Structure 1
């Protein structure tokens, strides 16, 4: 009788633990992972056009990956004339590539390919460039990096409306531990279930109430090994999610056991952020509307010399 009671108690405790753990897993957004069918949009896309001057496998320590939309030529120009200057790439040992997809407009495509041929810093993937294809773009550059830049140790991912304090950032990059993603970390973010939201995610795609911790996609830092580990988890998360920062730095990183480390003090994206950038308080800032970015860059360089 005593053993029967012990067995019953053990079974009861096991059931309670399983139910509790299941609730905790659901709350944390942890899935019981099994390799399954992968959405075609998550599979590798070929390079449509690329002629690159900078060779990232020739001793370069860092790759600056800039997500850009095909019409944003002016933004690419100010990046080339500020932190992306060739002399900066030589001094700080980095390559800078713009990543985008194909324009849906033939005239835009012609202009983009001419720009690429002239500056040799654009990688065009064979997919349509659009907001809903942002995750395609993210996986595209990760796969490009793994194939063509494997000797590079660090990636700084940026959107084309973000500028940086290059000298201060380069100093920080030398002391960051690997196997981690650094950025503005978001935790316990609720999943949007309203189909009018551009961040709408149905239960059928993601059944949990909150996303795992992730970093803001506008800019973040990660290392080579983390990228390779994240790509290795795609086969376990084969449903397409268009919110690229959640999918890559959240779901894939969480699945791969990669730390997501908050460095929000390096970022400031409010209206005063460029002043903080000048003073070296922050490393990343959004470019304000109608701002003279080249002048800002020159001011920052003068202060940090």
Structure 2
């Protein structure tokens, strides 16, 4: 199977999905964010999860798009909370329109996600909806924890990993789980898919933290150094706060406590502190560990090796990503 077939099916569904027309201010932002591109990782995972167990993977296309619509709904609202200027290299919805429109359009996107999930066959619909509801609540829990961390100086690595698991990883886990459920996979395989997706997701977010500091601005699609500017409690900063001593500790806290500063100067200074502490190497090792655990989960899935290989190849692409 050529993986491009899955992407093509998703693109066709995306282009043919109607979110609504009037008022234009409500629906134009939905079309805008859904057409910004992105990696479409989550819906592709749903299709790959279904293909592991059935040739009739097309029945997972609409539910897969539901995951992508929900994901973009969370991005639209997260961007408001973070006051982010860019999303995928383009103005965020609240910048292009305003906060109120972005909130309301996001609400409609959540409704659209439920509408697309209703395409799931009746015998498994209740189970799928229950798992989606739990996942959606966990994503919100993760976002609240992330906001709580903004006012704390004692966030631990364990707390941070739990936060990104909820905010980011559980949706990747659900995406794979959804594919398995639609294909009527055995319960053990569905669980391995979910756990594998969660571990891959944690590695994915840690890679995002790394790229925010060390990524190529032309490839990253977001403001490189944005986390440093905002004093965001990322894996990088938490590790630096734990390991910094003496003059480095004093300098790091000085930058964190400043209310007025040159953004480029702060990014450069904090990055240099990370370099001296070896934070990049620590993050890369942790990323590799979570990806390895995810691959181990996938190996336990009861599916044909040739079909499983597609999923493994896709997961390996996440390891090497630069955007």
Pair in the same fold by TM > 0.5: no
TM-score (norm 2): 0.25
Computing the radius of gyration from Cα coordinates, the structure with the larger value is 1
Could you say which structure has the higher strand fraction?
Answer: 1
Structure number with the bigger relative contact order (C-alpha 8 A, sep ≥ 6) is 1
**Greater fraction helix:** 2
Give TM-score scaled by structure 1 length.
Answer: 0.26
